[in-house]
Amino acid sequence: MTYRPARATASDAATLTLGVEEEYLLLDPRTGESLPVADRVLTALSGSAREQSRQEFRHSMVEMVTPVTADLTELRTHLVALRRSVGDAAEAAGARLVAVGATPVHEPHRTVPDEPRYHAMSRRFGPVAHDPAVCGCHVHVGMSDRELAVQVCNHLRPWLPVVQAITANSPLHDGRDTGHASWRSMQLERWPSIGPTPHFESVADYDATVAELINAGIMLDAAMVYWYARPSAAYPTVEVRVGDVCPAVDDTVLVAGLVRALVATMADDVRARVPARRIRDCLVSAAHWRAAHDGLEGDLIDLRAGVARPAWDLVGELVDTVAPALTRHGDLDYVRDQLARLRRDGNGATRQRRVMARTGDDVRAVLDHLAAETRAA
């Protein structure tokens, strides 16, 4: 039986709101190379789709932002509509919309859009700012109390590698398998302000640290806090930005449901004065590397015990940990059903590799598969 997301009770004060940002690549249907047609695609959008679109750091990328919603059913509807609208605009511009975490073949045009901030980033960070495009999925969970948001981010640290493994969807680079389930994660490590969220004592500690990093030239501004979880610089939310963009809509909705339940559970722990685990940053970084390398097909590091364990064991424990919050939001059956699908079919990286194995490493077949998943309702 396939479950659709249940509707949350919007009047329930314990129901946390959600929003998702998804980044997509625009690829040449023949060669698989990135096409610099984002301006044409964005111009072709109209109505709410245009309002929910964003220019990104590459001419071959577009970002779409869902409206704020209280339940996964509406979130799924928004994602399907946005992917359909931008997919149609991409086809009209001679490109194909593909939800994949990193440039799979080649990106010939790596200049940044003509925006002052992007030019400033290019000058400051040099070749790093001209790496091939990468695409993420950012989940926002409503939280107006910034002090609480900072403490929630502390509590999220042991679990975010598991979320990263679930979303891994970028095994290819230059048309070959990198050996990593998420090559996007490897590319992003070159940026100085990306990585695991540090532990902060308070929102004042957080703000002071960000100010020091800006003064030191590590960041241009507070919007360049690209840690895997953060109080959003733009919205009253906790933003979890560790994941690759997911190929299928139901993958994204699954991740959004899990992230909301994680944030809700960690917020309950903060209110109950349960202390966050103090884990060495080097171990957290190692856990994220392992998640990017193995995805769901191998082991992950259990940061609570400091040992490697089968990935699916940790996924199961994640669900057990957040099950009360999933139940409260009406998401438990849907999340369990979608995780059973992932266990059967694999995450995005595994599904790409299966197409490669079936077709004799035919990258074009992989991109056909990804494009179909991206547009499927």
pLDDT in tens, 97-146: 999 999 999 999 898 999 999 999 999 999 999 999 999 999 999 999 99
Confirm whether 10 is domain-assigned: no
Predicted local distance difference test score (pLDDT) of residue 1: 32
**112-121, 240-249, 272-281, 293-302: lowest mean pLDDT where?**
112-121
Please check the confidence at residue 3 and state whether its pLDDT lies above 90: no
Do residues 242 and 20 make contact, with C-beta atoms less than 8 angstroms apart?
Answer: no
Q: Which residues pair with 27 in a beta bridge?
A: 34, 96
Predicted local distance difference test score (pLDDT) of residue 5: 61
- Which pair of structure tokens corresponds to residue 281? 């940053």
Q: Give the separation between CA 311 and CA 324, rounded to whole angstroms.
A: 22
The pLDDT of 53-80, averaged and rounded, is: 96
Predicted local distance difference test score (pLDDT) of residue 76: 98
Confirm whether 188 is domain-assigned: yes
- Which pair of structure tokens corresponds to residue 263? 């944030």
E strand map for 32-191:
53-55, 61-65, 96-98, 136-142, 172-173, 176-177
Confirm whether 376 is domain-assigned: no
Please check the confidence at residue 257 and state whether its pLDDT lies above 80: yes
Dump pLDDT digits (tens) for 223-232: 999 999 999 9
Predicted local distance difference test score (pLDDT) of residue 4: 53
Q: Which domain holds residue 232?
A: 18-371
Do residues 33 and 69 make contact, with C-beta atoms less than 8 angstroms apart?
Answer: no
Confirm whether 7 is domain-assigned: no
Predicted local distance difference test score (pLDDT) of residue 299: 98
Indicate the pLDDT class of residue 360, thresholds 50, 70 and 90.
Answer: very high
Indicate the pLDDT class of residue 10, thresholds 50, 70 and 90.
Answer: very low
The CATH number of whichever domain residue 156 belongs to comes to: 3.30.590.20
Do residues 187 and 131 make contact, with C-beta atoms less than 8 angstroms apart?
Answer: yes
Dump pLDDT digits (tens) for 301-322: 999 999 999 999 999 999 999 9
Nearest in space to 160 (alpha carbons), one of 182, 129, 192: 182
Q: Where are the alpha helices (DSSP H) in the chain?
A: 38-44, 47-51, 72-92, 116-125, 146-156, 160-167, 183-188, 203-215, 249-271, 281-294, 311-328, 332-345, 348-359, 363-375
Confirm whether 67 is domain-assigned: yes
Confirm whether 2 is domain-assigned: no
Q: Give the separation between CA 6 and CA 177, rounded to whole angstroms.
A: 38
Confirm whether 269 is domain-assigned: yes
**What total number of domains does the chain contain?**
1
The pLDDT of 235-247, averaged and rounded, is: 97
Single pTM value for the model: 0.95
Confirm whether 6 is domain-assigned: no
Q: Give the separation between CA 124 and CA 121, rounded to whole angstroms.
A: 5
Percentage, residues of the chain above pLDDT 70: 97
Q: Give the separation between CA 199 and CA 157, rounded to whole angstroms.
A: 8
Please check the confidence at residue 9 and state whether its pLDDT lies above 50: no
